[in-house]
Structure 1
């Protein structure tokens, strides 16, 4: 095998370093990261109100309590395609979205729910991820999806949608390696 000329080696080195210079996506919550959901406004397809609980904004109050009866979770009526939507008031590059599921009962209700991010206020934005487990805390990596609206929709089913907290973090680009020439 013939050795590569120095100019070709330098070109290959330069191209590989360019790839390392780009910003990488991270799904880890960054120290000091801001939960931009706290400044937004949430609505949902219906309100099942039991002792002044269940309203959409209760899922962005900063309280990760998973017991519905403690007053910090949302709750729709049982309906086809229930949804919850957050207006962030500005468009962001979205990184991690953390959902705290109901933990006192019924956590399986969230299975199949789609988390959507985009600029349409009609819940028809691209899907960032789908809930596939009844875990108490579920994190989605949206990898810089741009959007003003974040929604959680259970498509194609007659179901109740309950969310105990939704945290939305802006994507923080990290420089993986600096190259000096």
Structure 2
């Protein structure tokens, strides 16, 4: 209703000696000026905020690293760390399918992002255990995701333990196919 009223008002105003055009130009100029002023104010506020030295910078450490998974269903595990959200890794339907990345050295892992497939099958991601560790026989829980996931979903998991890890492993408990578009592992910058 408000749109119809506004259109009627605009039509009426445009008839009256071109005053509508002048008024519209004035409003647009004011909005542009206010937007620029707010942007400058925000930049100044951010510049003046004290930097917290206790907040560590995180960097992504899994891109292009060596991967493996419990089985291959015409999709290789390495595509889950290739930076392309349109590709995906996939295991066969099996009991406790897993995917793992070897980071090459130990990192203090703080966060793991998982991107679900964009085209279908998001609900396959469920009952997911995420573990990290310095060796295959020393894996520690990072997070658990009950699910089910949604197609195209971006999930973020924070690892609250303070353990260094070289390996990140994702395991679905139960019979399923583990499908991942992308996995990003964020570690504290040394």
Greater relative contact order structure (CA < 8 Å, 6+ sep)? 1
Q: How does 1:19-168 map to 2 (within 5 A)?
A: 23=54, 33-49=58-74, 54-65=75-86, 72-121=87-136, 125-133=139-147, 134-135=149-150, 136-143=153-160, 144-155=162-173, 157-168=174-185
**Structure 1: which 5+ runs fail to align?**
1-20, 66-71, 174-181
Task: Give the CA deviation at 1:36.
Answer: 0.6
Larger Rg: 2
TM-score (norm 1): 0.67
Q: How many residues align?
A: 135
RMSD: 2.2
TM-score (norm 2): 0.64
Between Structure 1 and Structure 2, the one with more helix by share is 2
* Worse overlay, 80-89 or 36-45: 36-45
Task: Give the CA deviation at 1:39.
Answer: 4.3
**Structure 2: which 5+ runs fail to align?**
1-51
Flag as ranges the 4+ runs of structure 1 deviating above 6 A: none
Separation of aligned partners in 2, 1:140 and 1:44: 20
Task: Give the CA deviation at 1:103.
Answer: 2.7
Partner residue, 1:5: none
